[in-house]
Amino acid sequence: MNIAEVLKNKIEAGQNVLTEFESKELLEEIGIKIPAQNLTKTKDETIAAAEKIGFPVVLKLMAEDVVHKSDTGAVKLNIKNKEEVGSAYDDLMKIESQSEKQISVQKMADEPITELIIGMTTDAQFGPALMFGIGGILVELLEDVSFRIAPITEYDAKEMIHEIKGFPILDGYRGKPKADINAIVDTLLKISDLVVKNEEIFEMDLNPVFIYENGLLCVDARIILKKKE
Ligand code: ADP
Ligand code: MG
């Protein structure tokens, strides 16, 4: 995949939002781990993909106008067999959308130590800024996030992680295993490098990223491109 070319073609086609599937494909290309994923259309294709990936799987509706997927019922978690794939598929096809519908079949990821949020926004004055936080209630309620202007160094990435209030959750709080901090540092550096090299990227939202004792998995992502001038 030539990332610069993919982004340029998207903008030319007037599509400035990449689907979750496309966003994660791009992240995988820069070395960020994602659950195995397959894009399908028909029910038979969807069942075949689920069997190939191996149960349990997750089915999600990919359509340009469905953005907050869980709000509209577009995420079906922990599907354990062929029959469940069939009924989840039928439910997803009932969701209202004006766009072309596809299904992302993906491996159901193991439960993480915690969910993380990694993002990037473009500041009118300073350009690309990276964001890091712990997912769920901590981010939404306490606004417990850290920011740095890109490009960042390894030292900056470590500071971003350590300065949030929720850091103890990553550091073996209450007997939980310690999260793989190096994997988070590595991911922040990869995102920094990506956005510095590709000015077409306006916004990125990796939400959530599942963090483990060893490694991490980005289970949802959205990339927004700058509009064609
Ligand atoms: P939304 O568009 O609503 O943000 P997500 O793709 O983030 O939808 O899915 C909603 C939630 O479902 C996630 O926050 C995560 O907890 C869970 N989830 C999504 N994909 C997976 C997966 N592949 N494995 C395990 N859990 C998942
Ligand atoms: Mg999400």
Ligand 1 nearest-atom number relative to CA 108: 24
- CATH T-level topology, domain 3-33+111-225: D-amino Acid Aminotransferase; Chain A, domain 1 (3.30.470)
**Ion ligand 2: protein residues whose beta carbon lies under 5 Å:** 207, 220
Instruction: Name the CATH code of domain 37-107 (choices 3.30.1490.20, 2.40.50.140, 3.40.50.300, 3.30.390.50).
Output: 3.30.1490.20
Residues of the chain with CATH 3.30.1490.20: 37-107
Pocket test of ligand 1: the residue of 62, 69, 97, 220 to mutate, having most ligand atoms within 8 Å of its CB, is: 220
Burial 111-140 (b: 16+ CB within 10 A, else e): ebbbbbbbbbebeeeeebbbbbbbbeebbe
Residues of the chain with CATH 3.30.470.20: 3-33+111-225
> What's the confidence (pLDDT) of residue 64?
87
| Res 228: pLDDT | 79
pLDDT tens digit at each of 229 positions of the chain: 899 999 999 999 999 999 999 999 999 999 999 999 999 999 999 999 999 999 999 999 999 889 899 999 999 999 999 999 999 999 999 999 999 999 999 999 999 999 999 999 999 999 999 999 998 777 778 889 999 999 999 999 999 999 999 999 999 988 899 999 999 999 999 999 999 999 999 999 999 999 999 999 999 999 999 987 7
Which amino acid appears at position 147 of this protein?
F
Kindly state the helix (H) or strand (E) to which residue 207 belongs, with its residue range: strand 201-211
Q: Model's pTM, two decimal places?
A: 0.97
Among candidate residues 53, 89, 54, the one with its CA nearest the CA of residue 74? 89
| Sequence-ordered list of residues with C-beta below 8 angstroms from that of 38, at least 6 positions apart, any chain | 49, 52, 53, 104, 105, 106
CA of 22 to the centre of ligand 1 (A): 15
